[in-house]
Amino acid sequence: MEDVNKQYYKIREVSEMLGIPAPTLRFWEKKFTILKPERSDKGTRYYTPADIEKIRMVNYLVKERGFKIDKAEEIIRHNHSGVSKHFQAIERLKSIRQELLKLLAAIDSGRRIKQPAP
């Protein structure tokens, strides 16, 4: 579980948290102007929660919507707030769907328990 008070995350932590390989994160950093994590003197990347949200937005456009990198960059550059709002709405709907599926499974398992034996 991620620490909500944490201000910086290393690339390994972000990779594990989002299920995106570290090489993909490094590649996207080169391609997307909005992805610029802080770096230590030794070059270690430190991502903020805001950086992580940007990565989620990039992942949504590239992996889920299927946009090519150039097109995704253009969309973000020209309509960052619109993309962000749309992405947040999609993520919220996915979360609601998961909760509904859990409730449905709980109801279904309750029905199986209460049914009389033949």
CATH number of 11-114: 1.10.1660.10
Q: Which residue has the tokens 């949200």?
A: 53
Reported as a single tens digit per residue, the pLDDT across 63-112 is 888 999 989 888 888 776 667 677 777 778 888 999 999 988 888 887 66
pTM: 0.67
Q: Where are the domains of the chain?
A: 11-114
Query: Taking the mean position of all CA atoms in its chain, how far away is CA 107?
Result: 29
Q: How many whole angstroms separate alpha carbon 55 and alpha carbon 29?
A: 9
**What is the pLDDT, as a whole number, of residue 75?**
83
More confident: 4 or 102: 102
More confident: 28 or 88: 28
- For the residues 30-57, what does the mean pLDDT come to? 91
